[in-house]
């Protein structure tokens, strides 16, 4: 029921995804049956693989998480996450209110990692593919242990979502040298280097490495991740705005822009295709889809959800998480030098 | 002598700037006279207002700051900064090694603010003009006091460089609400709100506000600032790369791109015009120009240097800095809630 477009995007996206997903994949559709049933009726081919579960209530996109949480029981979002806990569903997918989804997921599924709340992943396009970037907004204060947890979870997610056997991991910092940055990143760097994790850890990366694809997974605290992601989104909006103005500022370039239209569309598509963003650190899979996701975006997120559900995601995270206490204990204390 | 192009850009830039600057503005040109004199001879009009000061040594672009510092005395960079301390020059301008310039400036001029090293400013284009963004790389660990110092210095710099009487100031955070973010930003927010500074302080801003121009000056710690700036630069490079590929991928769009060329050039110009970046918190003016700056960019930076030199910049900073101890003492302690 969530997102900017609700069932008018979600249901066609399910129909589209089903044509490409294995026969065994099925969907539970939570929400107002009076709205969902007529829309579903327009996609006869999907009918046998989609079950509508009526919910009395829907959480609004603009409700505050705390307020939403109080009145959330029995809502479509609540029921979707509860189905994961009950083992009825392998993964919950929502384009609804992010804060409410995080709060409800934490309450129903509980945290497996030692985090304040689930870590949120962004998928950033690069010339080589996609950078998995986390945490982008959930956990503002992160010590070295939390950064290492992000690395473990991000690594397993990237493998499951993108099929790369051994993703390369980096920690975001102000320089590549080991002595750079604050004590949390230097300590996390040491733990990941020396902790014996099953992971291709590459050390520190810088801000421009996110879109370069220097590594597959870029790890940072939720403060830096949130600000950086929004700054990149803002830069993209500014640039496309400037470009539009530049290309329509006189008749000649306007003509050029018309002819170049197809190329520009391809460019915009590539920049704006959001994969689902998993909520990591929960005892169960929850995928957040951008509220403005198109039918095609949402269908792609559903395929990621299916890939995650069929992967060894949770077991792989668990295996590296078991190394964590020993790795933290082994790591020598950080030197005091915080030099840039 | 510094930058990617050395005197072949710096000297024509001086000649260009002099045509637009008041008659009273003059330049001391530090470096190898054997290189500088022939280049200067090609700009007869500038000769009377430029004095060459021979220096035996030049600091290389790739020297480590610590190494450069040891051998820096008598270098062109050293002499330029020393001229500021000696009152011979109002502002030192360099396109050379940033780390060396910061170290030399700190050693010769000493810090006026309570910072590890000078704060570095980036000027980000927006639809409305320019956002002054600091600190972008110098001070990794920043408490509330340092953030307030950045606000005071950034405010005075923006007024001097852009002629806006009352620049609006914001602190970068993960949301606009007062209870968001970590304790340092919440404490700085309270000090700026309640401290009685002569400043148009607007509260928290988010990452995408940097390119929106929501405020004139965006304040953050050197870690977040460095990472965010590089991430935005990386996003720009990625987007222009994708755009180029999209626009040249077939004959039709290639034709369109040719016609749209003029518009694209304007767009790129606007994105890549770096103003000089001041090193803030020193007892004296030092302006860093990007190593790859064009003649036009460098000339623009020289005009900023002249504007700064003729402004009440230092006195305005001093006035607000005097409020700081009382403002810090008055501010009530931060609440423990770190909720996003």
Q: What is the pLDDT of residue B314?
A: 87
A48 burial class (0-12, 13-18, 19+ CB within 10 angstroms)? exposed
Question: Residue A313's pLDDT is what?
Answer: 87
**Cβ distance of B226 and A241 shorter than 8 Å:** no
Contacts of A242 in chain B (CB under 8 A): 127, 267, 270-271
End-to-end alpha carbon distance in chain B: 48
Chain B residues close to A212, C-beta within 8 Å: 234, 238
pLDDT value at position B178?
85
CB atoms < 10 A from the CB of A312, how many?
12
Q: How confident is the model at residue A23 (pLDDT cuts 50, 70, 90)?
A: very high
Pairing verdict, β A200-205 and B130-134:
unpaired
The answer to whether A111 contacts chain B (CB < 8 Å) is: no
Q: How confident is the model at residue A259 (pLDDT cuts 50, 70, 90)?
A: low
Kindly give the pairing relationship between strand A277-280 and strand A91-94.
unpaired
Sorted by sequence, the CB contacts under 8 Å of residue A161 that are 6+ apart come out as: A123, A132, A275, A278, A304, A307, A308
Nearest chain B alpha carbon to A223 = B174
* B340/A138 touch (CB, cutoff 8 Å), yes or no: yes
Lowest-confidence segment of A37-41, A175-179, A235-239 by average pLDDT: A235-239
Residue bearing tokens 């995928």:
A287
The answer to whether A263 contacts B241, with C-beta atoms less than 8 Å apart, is: no
Position A114 scores a pLDDT of 74
Task: Tell me whether residues A340 and B261 touch, CB distance under 8 A.
Answer: no
* Token pair 């949130």: residue: A226
Helices (DSSP H) in A53-115: which residue ranges?
65-70, 76-85, 98-109
**Nearest C-alpha of chain B: how many angstroms from A119?**
12
Q: What's the gap in Å between the CA of A319 and the closest CA on chain B?
A: 30
Of the candidates A227, A260, A271, the beta carbon closest to that of B256 is on A260
Residue ranges of B 119-158 with Cβ closer than 8 A to chain A: 125-127, 137-141
Inter-chain contact B207–A249, Cβ cutoff 8 Å? no
Task: Give the minimum alpha-carbon distance from B310 to chain A in angstroms, rounded to a whole number.
Answer: 32
Residue A165 has pLDDT above 60, yes or no: yes
pLDDT at A21: 94
**Of A93-102, A208-217, A260-269, which range is least confident?**
A260-269
Interface contact flag, B263 A246, Cβ < 8 Å:
yes
**Counting every residue, how long is chain A?**
340
- A/B interface, count of CB pairs below 8 Å: 214
A178 contacts chain B (CB < 8 A): no
What is the structure's pLDDT at B117? 85
**A223 closest CB neighbour out of B174, B236, B257:** B174
Measure B101 CA to nearest chain A CA, in Å.
14
Provide the 8-state DSSP code for B323. T
Out of A206, A234, A239, name the one closest to residue B271 (CB).
A239
Q: How many other C-beta atoms lie within 10 A of the C-beta of residue B37? A: 13
Q: Which residues of A touch B227 (CB under 8 A)?
A: 172-174, 206-207, 220, 224, 228
Residue A339's pLDDT band (boundaries 50, 70, 90)?
Answer: very low
CB contacts of A209 in chain B (<8 Å) are: 234
Would you put residue B213 in left (φ > 0), alpha (ψ -120 to 50) or beta? left
pLDDT of residue B245: 73
Subunit contact A127:B238, Cβ cutoff 8 A: yes
Residue of A nearest to B126 (CA): A238
How many residues comprise chain B? 340
Mean pLDDT, to the nearest integer, of A173-181?
A: 89
Q: In what order do the strands lie in the sheet with B91-94?
A: B91-94, B285-288, B277-280, B119-125, B130-134, B217-219, B168-172, B200-205
pLDDT higher at B166 or A253: B166
Distance from CA of A31 to the nearest CA of B (A): 28
- What is the C-alpha separation between B326 and B205, in angstroms, rounded? 25
Mark yes or no for CB contact A228/B226 under 8 Å: no
Task: Give the pLDDT of residue A338.
Answer: 45
Which chain B residues have a beta carbon less than 8 Å from that of A219? none
10-residue mean pLDDT profile of chain B (340 residues): values are 91 95 95 95 90 94 87 95 97 94 94 84 89 90 94 95 95 90 95 94 96 96 95 84 71 65 62 74 93 89 93 89 88 50
Residues A204, A173 contacting (CB under 8 angstroms)? yes
Chain B hits for A334, Cβ within 8 Å? none
pLDDT band at A66 (very low <50, low <70, confident <90, very high): confident
Residues 70-109 of chain A whose Cβ lies under 8 A from any Cβ of chain B: none
Q: Which residue of chain A comes nearest to B176, CA vs CA? A: A227
A141 closest CB neighbour out of B126, B223, B338: B338
Residue predicted with more confidence, A254 or B167: B167
Q: Is the peptide bond before A135 cis (omega within 30 degrees of 0)?
A: yes
Cβ–Cβ of B260/A262 closer than 8 Å?
Answer: no
Q: What percent of chain A has pLDDT over 70?
A: 88
Q: What is the DSSP string of A244-259?
A: HHHHTSSHHHHHHHHH
In angstroms, the Cα distances linking A302 to A39, A318, B193 are 18, 24, 46
The answer to whether A211 faces chain B, any CB pair under 8 Å, is yes
Q: Does A231 touch chain B (CB under 8 A)?
A: yes
A222, A227, A258 ranked by CB distance to B207: nearest: A227
Q: Which of B171, B256, B264, B270 best probes binding to A when mutated, by most A CB atoms within 10 angstroms?
A: B256
Using a CB-CB distance cutoff of 8 angstroms, which residues of chain A are in contact with residue B223?
A: 174, 181-182, 224
> In whole numbers, what is the pLDDT of chain A averaged over residues?
88
Per DSSP, what are the bridge partners of residue B120? B279
How much is the pLDDT for A340? 43
Q: Is B229 on the interface with A (CB under 8 A)?
A: yes
Query: What would the two tokens of residue A310 be?
Result: 């069929």
Q: Indicate whether A321 pLDDT > 80.
A: yes
**Residue A115: pLDDT over 90:** no
């Amino acid at each position: 029921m969530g997102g900017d477009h609700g069932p008018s995007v979600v249901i066609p996206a399910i129909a589209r995804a089903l044509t490409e997903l294995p026969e065994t994949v099925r969907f539970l559709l939570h929400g107002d049956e009076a709205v969902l049933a007529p829309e579903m009726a327009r996609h006869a081919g999907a009918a046998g693989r989609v079950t509508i579960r009526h919910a009395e209530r829907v959480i609004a996109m603009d409700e505050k998480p705390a307020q939403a949480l109080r009145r959330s029981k029995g809502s479509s979002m609540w029921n979707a996450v509860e189905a994961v806990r009950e083992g009825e569903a392998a993964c919950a997918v929502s384009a609804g209110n992010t804060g409410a989804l995080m709060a409800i997921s934490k309450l129903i599924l509980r945290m497996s990692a030692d985090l304040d709340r689930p870590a949120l992943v962004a998928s950033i396009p690069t010339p080589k593919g996609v950078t998995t970037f986390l945490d982008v907004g959930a956990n503002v204060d992160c010590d070295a242990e939390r950064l290492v947890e992000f690395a473990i979870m991000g690594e397993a997610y990237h493998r499951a979502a993108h099929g790369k056997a051994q993703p390369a991991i980096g920690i975001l910092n102000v320089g590549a040298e080991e002595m750079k940055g604050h004590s949390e990143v230097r300590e996390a760097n040491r733990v990941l280097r020396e902790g014996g994790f099953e992971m291709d850890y590459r050390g520190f990366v810088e801000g421009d490495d996110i879109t370069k694809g220097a590594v597959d997974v870029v790890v940072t605290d939720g403060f830096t991740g949130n600000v950086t992601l929004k700054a990149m989104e803002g830069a993209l909006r500014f640039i496309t705005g400037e470009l539009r103005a530049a290309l329509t500022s006189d008749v000649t370039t306007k003509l050029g822009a018309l002819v170049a239209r197809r190329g520009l569309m391809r460019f915009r598509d590539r920049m704006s295709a959001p994969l689902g963003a998993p909520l990591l650190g929960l005892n169960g899979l929850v995928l957040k889809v951008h509220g403005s996701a198109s039918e095609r975006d949402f269908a792609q997120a559903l395929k990621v959800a299916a890939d995650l559900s069929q992967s060894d995601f949770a077991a792989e995270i668990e295996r590296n998480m078991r190394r964590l206490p020993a790795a933290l204990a082994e790591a020598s204390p950080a030197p005091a030098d915080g030099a840039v």
